[in-house]
Amino acid sequence: GESVGLHLPTLSVQEGDNSIINCAYSNSASDYFIWYKQESGKGPQFIIDIRSNMDKRQGQRVTVLLNKTVKHLSLQIAATQPGDSAVYFCAVYSGAGSYQLTFGKGTKLSVIP
Amino acid sequence: NAGVMQNPRHLVRRRGQEARLRCSPMKGHSHVYWYRQLPEEGLKFMVYLQKENIIDESGMPKERFSAEFPKEGPSILRIQQVVRGDSAAYFCASSQNGAYEQFFGPGTRLTVL
């Protein structure tokens, strides 16, 4: 089965700096990846996704990078703001026909004003 | 356009009682997923349903847990004879037919005394 791990459980950054959150997955057949943001007491909120036929995808202030060779995924947040403080999860689909999202444990991002 | 709705938001039960958690998917979504989240953990897949059908229940405990998504009305996750270890946040997500992207509700926080 799939397993998803995070490199750091917590991350503190200064307001205005860039944040990088990393994620590793185990199944080379995984074909779709999502980053979610979860604020305290709320459900996960979709941030950005990427398919396995891409290496990079950009959104507003966020970029996701996918390295299939080493099965590594990262989320970059530019000019981090206090409102970005939350727990960030990567979630992975395990291949064609699978509808299960496998989540990592999450990285708690704290933004220092 | 309302998002995924879950109720109740908080539920307290004593050991041995039954818990019923309800989920109304986003308008136009016919696929529903249930996940469980323990404190400081990522979400764990439980079950995937389409209208009147359970498609994948591989993540759901074999005993005491059941789920349904009737033709009319919300999806229900039912936990019979609750135990303290059932205390967790239970999230529902929905998606359109054939879409990867899952949208999450705010969750139901179950506390078993």
Inter-chain CB proximity A101 and B58 less than 8 Å? no
Segment A25-42 mean pLDDT = 90
Could you report the per-residue pLDDT of B18-60, keeping only the tens digit for each?
999 999 999 989 999 999 999 878 899 999 999 889 999 999 9
- Specify the 3-state DSSP secondary structure of A82: helix
The amino acid occupying position B109 is R
- The reported pLDDT for the residue numbered B83 is 97
Contact indicator for A9, A105 with CB cutoff of 8 Å: yes
Could you report the per-residue pLDDT of A42-76, keeping only the tens digit for each?
999 999 999 999 999 999 999 999 999 999 999 99
pLDDT at A98 over 80: no
Beta bridge partners of residue B68, listed in sequence order: B76
Residue A102 near chain B (CB below 8 Å):
yes
- The reported pLDDT for the residue numbered B101 is 86
Domain ranges of chain A: 4-112
> Which B positions 17-46 lie with beta carbon below 8 A of chain A?
31, 33, 35, 40-45
Which of B48, B91, B102 should one mutate to test binding to chain A, selecting the residue with the greatest count of A CBs within 10 A? Answer: B102
CATH number of the domain at A4-112, please?
A: 2.60.40.10
Write the DSSP symbol of residue A52: T
Q: State how far residue A71 is from chain B, nearest Cα, in angstroms.
A: 19
Contact indicator for A67, A56 with CB cutoff of 8 Å: no
Q: How confident is the model at residue A27 (pLDDT cuts 50, 70, 90)?
A: confident
- A36 vs B contacts (CB less than 8 Å): 104
